[in-house]
Amino acid sequence: MTKGKKIAAYTFLTIVSFISVFPLYWMISAATNKSVDVTRGRLIPGAELINNFKNLLAQYDVGTAMLNSFKYALILTILSLLICSLAGYGFEIYHDKIKDGVMSVILLAMMVPFAATMIPLYQLFSKVGLLNCTAGFILPTLSTPFLIMMFRQSARSFPHDIIEAARMDGLNEFQIFFKMFLPTMRSTYAAAMTITFMNAWNNYLWPKVIMTSKTSITMPMLVANLKEGYVTDYGMLMLAVFLCTIPTAIVFFLLQKSFADGITGAVK
């Protein structure tokens, strides 16, 4: 690559990086300014962060929203990883024509938008008493076709000779899964955990439908409530958005290497 091409490439990458990072900078900067300064387009950080934080805590129950979001996201992530990995492992290790047909039907379900099933789900959950509870939050997304397909693809790289050797040594199928398959697929689990946690944390539509009590509010619902009414405090709103972003950002940055390996199907 010539010097001119390098300069052009680095210039392009710098511009793209700036465009990508600017919304995050603007969010943090807006969280430190008054609402009127945000509407005027001020880009320099201000001195209103503490006041915005005090107003946010005084007007909304941020602690309950954060606790609920963590509880729902963690429970959904743990159970979803367990169920989807078992399903993906079973579809690949014990596959036949019938299971392949079932897997095709599961993949077709990815094309059905959640909005099309939301009303029947709400009617069902209301009849069985699953409104305003953790079970009502996690059941619709407890098992997803994408995660099942992801674990099935990873299971294809798992040596079948090891499974046969483990069976000859007296291990049952669950021992093979938990003691051999699960530790080997750590990168896949990390990628799946990142995706599931972020989706569960950012989930807004379904919790908004079934979580009708104030004690069941989540962070995305709280952020949406800040935009209601005739006047919006944009400084406080951006602070709430920033607080809502922190957990998912931490999870992604901690697992980004394993996330990349898991998405590409690497097995170590």
pLDDT at position 1 over 80: no
**133-147 residue pLDDT tens:** 888 899 988 888 889
| Termini Cα distance of the chain | 34
CA distance 123 to 125: 6
Q: Name the band, by pLDDT with cuts 50, 70 and 90, for residue 29.
A: very high
**220-236 residue pLDDT tens:** 999 988 887 677 889 99
In this prediction, residue 240 carries a pLDDT of: 93
In this prediction, residue 259 carries a pLDDT of: 67
Q: What b/e readout covers 220-244, taking b as 16+ CB neighbours within 10 angstroms?
A: bbbbeebeeeeeebbbbbbbbbbbb
pLDDT at position 266 over 60: no
